[in-house]
Structures are given as structure tokens and as C-alpha cells.
Structure 1
Amino acid sequence: MHASPPTRNVLIVDDDPAIRQFFGALLSRTSTVREASDADEALEIIKHWTPDVVLLDIVMPGMDGYEACQRLKACLGADAPQVIMVSGRSEEAGMAKAFEMGADDYLVKPVDHVEFCSRVDLHFRLRESRTATVELQRQVDSNHQKLKQILVERAEQIVAIQDVAVFTLAKVAESRDNDTGQHIVRLREYAQRLAIELKQDEPYTLVINEAFLADLYRSSPLHDIGKVGIPDAILLKPGRLTPSEFETMKRHAVIGANILHEAVMQTKGGGFLAMAATIAQFHHERWDGQGYPAGLIGEEIPLPARIVSVADVYDALTSERPYKKAWTPAEAKDLIQKGAGTQFDPAVVAAFERCFDDFLRLQERYADQEAVVTGAMTFMEFDLPETT
């Protein structure tokens, strides 16, 4: 069964009835023809019927063909017909003006009927091609939007899987010296809140952007991943470490960084893993240069590590261990404040002070189900006063 040819609509606009009749006779066998005696009538017709080709006289009573052409094109926009201007004048200025007003072709009367029919047929085919192109573009745009949505959904799924994998990996490392604690959950939330608060300070407004916050949120749980390389005898020692044992414990910063740098090398750009490696390596550095493993001073210490350092110490101090009770939030706050400019970045400590009430809320929300945290005491960087 053959498909029927597409309907071709033509509008003849001319104030001379004889011309309309002549053109209509030539086209009516292959097209649906409608006629208008002036531009106003033509503009009224296209409100309810869209022609594929318009044969438009130039010299008519009232609105001339030039203005009519411009209005036809404007009214129908992307669905505008092919407009063939028909005139008894052949001067170049008239032709140039016709094309300037949007005409697609220009015929001079009297016209040869063979050439006339061929030219009209050409414009029907141009119109059909343009319509097909517009429809194809619409389909491409639609498919592009669907594909974008699929890619967004797939990307979200990949990120979710990565987050689960990262969190699981962090919990595996933590489980070696932490029974049921929520340390990495609290640390992630503390670090995120600190960064958001620090963003209010002018030097950090542009540095701490959405990408920074997203990477920090995903990477901070991996800060102690290097503990997987520390012997159990040291990691699980129920008490303070000796100086020799502490030197071994300090290796976890470099071990963690090496693990994560290896992961970065397996990915293009590294993404949040690059920040995770930085945090793992430098979160035990001190502002005064007395930290480890590199002894960096002040702003030599990468910003993510300076943020995590405060969050990590606060959570460690306020967590109970077999050989010490948990410090009160006020006691931990006081120690961190005293460490500004020595152990900690003063700007991060100032941000900590401003959002301390949020720390208390987060601490309550993510409290350990079992309060006691096992594992060696590694905070030999400063002397811990006795707590009650």
C-alpha cells in the first residue's frame, strides 16, 4: 500500500482576479489553492489555515507585498511558508527589497507556465525538507533531553554507589579500633559545618565552593584509612602509646595517603579522592609546624586538612575510652580555643566557636549507641589534663 502524497497548500495573493485565476488553474490539480485579493485578507486567512507556499503580488491597494511578506513570516515564525514575490517589475532594487523583507523567490510577470510550475514545485519541496528538518531537530532535542536525564540518573546512581563504597571502606578501617561508634559520621558532619561557616570569611568565600563542600563531605570519612596498615598490637592497645609505638602509629597518615593516591592514579582527575588523600596525609599537621608527617607550618597545611583536624580532635576528646571519660563539650571547646595558633588554624577555630551550638546538635543527633570507644590513645601531640 502506497502512502498518499502530502497535501500541498498554496495561497495566491493578488488584486487582479485574472492573475489569481491563471495561477490557480496551473496549481489546483496538485495543490489545495486559496485566494486573497489583498494583504489584509491574506493575513486573516493564515490565522486559521497555514499555506506551504504563498504567491504574493507586490503592488496592491493598501498594504503592499513587501510589508505583507514581512508580516506573514513574523506571524507564522518557524512554520512560515515559502514566499514567492510576483511583480511586473524586474529592476534589481525591487528584487533586493523583496529578499530583504524575507521573500524566498522572485518572479517577473508575465511568467512562463513551465518555469512557474517548476519554481513552485521546488519551493514545495524546500518547505517539506524544512518541515522534516524541524521535526527531526525536535526529535533530536527530545531524545537529547531523555539521554541527559538518563545520564543524570546514572551519574547519581554511580555517586551513590561510590559513597556507599567509600563509607563502607572507612567503616572497615574504623572497625579495627572502634566497636560501634559513629566517629566518621560525626566527623563528616562537623567538617562540613565548619567549612560552611568558614566560607563566610572573605579569604575563603571563593575557595570553599559547592565542589569543595561536596568533595569534603565525601572524602573526610577516609581520613584514618591508613590505620589498616598499623599492627593490631599498637592499634588496639588499651591505653596510652609509648613514644616508639606512637612513631609507628604516625605512619597511618602516609599509609592512608599512599592508598588514596594509588586510587587517584586509577581515575581521571581523581575527583574527591584527591582531597581524601590530602586529608589523610596532613590532618595531623599542626599550625606551629610541630605536627606530622611533614612538619608543615600555617597555611602550608592544605585547607581541608586544617578543617578536619579540628573536627577530628573535638570528636576524639568528647568520645569515651576505657582509660578516660569523655570530655564535656565545653572542655573540648576550651582546649581547641587554647590551641588556636599553635595546633590549629586560628580562622578554623574562630569558625568553630561561631557554630559551636551546631556541633552540640550534631553530637546529640549522631551519638554513639555504645559510648565506649576502644583503641590506642594517639593524642600525644598535646598533654591531656585530667578530666572528671
Structure 2
Amino acid sequence: MKKVVVALVVAVLALALAACGQKRTYEIALVTDVGTINDKSFNQGAWEGVVKYAKEFKISYKYYQPDTKSTDDYVESIEVAIENGAKIVVTPGFLFENAIWLVQDEHPEVKFILLDGAPHNVTDWGTMATVDGSAPNFDMADNVFSIFYAEEESGFLAGYAAVKEGFTKLGFMGGMSVPAVVRFGYGFVQGANYAANEMNLADGAITIKYEYLNSFAPDAAHQTKAASWYTAGTEVIFVAAGGAGNSVMKAAEGVANKYVIGVDVDQKAESERVITSAMKELGNSVYQTLEKIYDETGVGGTSVTLDAAVDGVGLPADFSRFNTFTQAMYDTIFAKVEGKQITIVKDTNIAVTALVVPKVTLQVNS
């Protein structure tokens, strides 16, 4: 009997030791860009989609945060995620375009969800220099799900809401003049013009200060610039600049009756001065793409653009910080945008000053 007991104990210990030696794996991974999963912006929106799907279907998941903002570190984090068992890797933002181009063929068994971008090897659009020294290449493998958003529609709705609320002195601060940010700004200007036209305002009645900060990070200089705009009369600033938006919020909080329009996700919890946000439905798009991948109904290798027609963009369903603009007004304009009854220019190759917006006086800072 003792021998049997000892044998059982040995067997149990052996199993326990074997279990301890097993490496835990995570099937769905997200690699952050310059921010964190709590950035109240792009990373967080994408992460919420991962968490929602993974919890609902009881799938293991984990996020990885690169050490630096570099393609090498993005690739390294992706490789670590795959070594840890990732079958699907979510990468939020255009900064991952080079990284996904480098790994897509190396891991054909892994699905990659790339938000706001498509794989390529170009590192400098001016010189067309490439990450590997070869000719520019834009091949997208079948295991890549490339998702873009109709930012011009979201920006349009934000500009429309601001003018309908009664603001006449607006501002737009973009992080960098990359296509997604440019589309936000162009839409904002056109939305303001459309609302002013509906309200029969005089030509030039709406003033919009327009500038790119060349940064997506919080910075005291951004706060100072925003404060100077507010002091000079700007009433509300739409800031499409990631973490730099927090600096603008601080500036608004320092001056009475000044407001901010957030970006990417609903940012009203960040500051009481955020009246609304020009959103991309990041969480929904990640969730829906994961659903298609697991149901084997999704097809990779091509880019899709999510717009108002598929609830890919819009404003939050909370209008409590508006005094004039209402849910009913929003529903009416959203239906027009959704039904493509309004032509919204999104050509990022033209200058914002080339937009036909007679109701708007643009003050563009280079």
C-alpha cells in the first residue's frame, strides 16, 4: 500500500512539475504603438475590441508594448507575441505599416489586423526610401486585414455639431499631416460650412484656425499654443492628435467657456470641457474582424474603409454637454452622411485652402 501511495504522490508531483514547466500561450495579441492601452485613444479603442471578443468566446489574450517607437521594436514585439502563441495580432495605427510588410510573409499562419494602414516598405514618401533598400512595394498578403476609416465623415459631423451649437470661432489641431488626420480636418471644415449654410449665415461668418502640431504626444508647448488660441477668441478646438489632445484639454480648463472636441474614441471622461468626439468605432471594427476571422467569413489581402453606412464612424450618443445641438439634429445629419447625400471632399493631395467653403474663413498656420 505504501508503495502505491508513494507511486501516486510521485505521479502527481511529476504532473505538477510538467504543468509548471509549460509556457502559457495567448491566442489574440495586440501590440501598442506610441501609447498604452489606457491612452483614451487609438490603442485603448482597439484593445477594448480585443477584450470584448476574447472574453465573450473565452479566448486567451495579451497586449505587448514596444520599448520605442520604431519599426524594429514593433517587429520584435510582434515576434514575441507569435512566440507566445498568438494566432491573431492586432496593430493599431499606420506606424505598423512597415512592420506588417516585414512579417506578413514570414508568418503565413498568423492573421494580422492592421488599423489605419496597409503594408508597404516605404519609409520616406519624399525620397521613396524603403525599409529594406529595395524598390517600393505595396504587396499585401492574404493573412492581412487592412482597415481604414472615413475620418472625413466623422470630422464633418463634428464641425457640423460645433456650428449648430452656436460656435463661430473654431480651431483644428492635427497631430501630423498624415492622411487620416488630414481627412479629419477637411471633414471638420466642410461640416462647419454645411451647418453655416443651413443656418443662412453670411459668407466668412465662421473662422477656423488650422494647424498641424507635428506631434501626437502631450507637450507643454501644445498647451501654450492652445491657450493662446483660446485667449485670442477661439471657442472650441477639434484636436486630432492622440495624446497631444490632453494638452489642449488642460488649456481649455484654464480659460472660462472654452471647449474641446476629442478624437478616435469618446474622450468626455478626460475633461469636462470635451463636448463631443469625432470617433472611429475602433472596438467594433476589431470585434467584427475577429468574428469574421474565426467564422472564416473574412477575406484578407485587401483594404476596407469603414464609414457611417456601417457605423464605422460617428459622434458619441451623449449630447448632454451641448446646449443647442440635439440627438434629433444629429440623427438627421447622420442619415444624410450615411446615405451619401452629402459630398465630402477627402482628397488629401489638395490643400485645405482649396476646399470650397464660402461660409468659412480659414487661418492656416504652416
Tell me if both proteins adopt one fold, taking TM over 0.5 as the criterion: no
Q: TM-score, normalised by structure 1?
A: 0.26
Higher relative contact order (CA 8 A, sep 6+): 2
- Largest Rg, 1 or 2: 1
Q: TM-score, normalised by structure 2?
A: 0.27
Higher-strand-fraction structure? 2
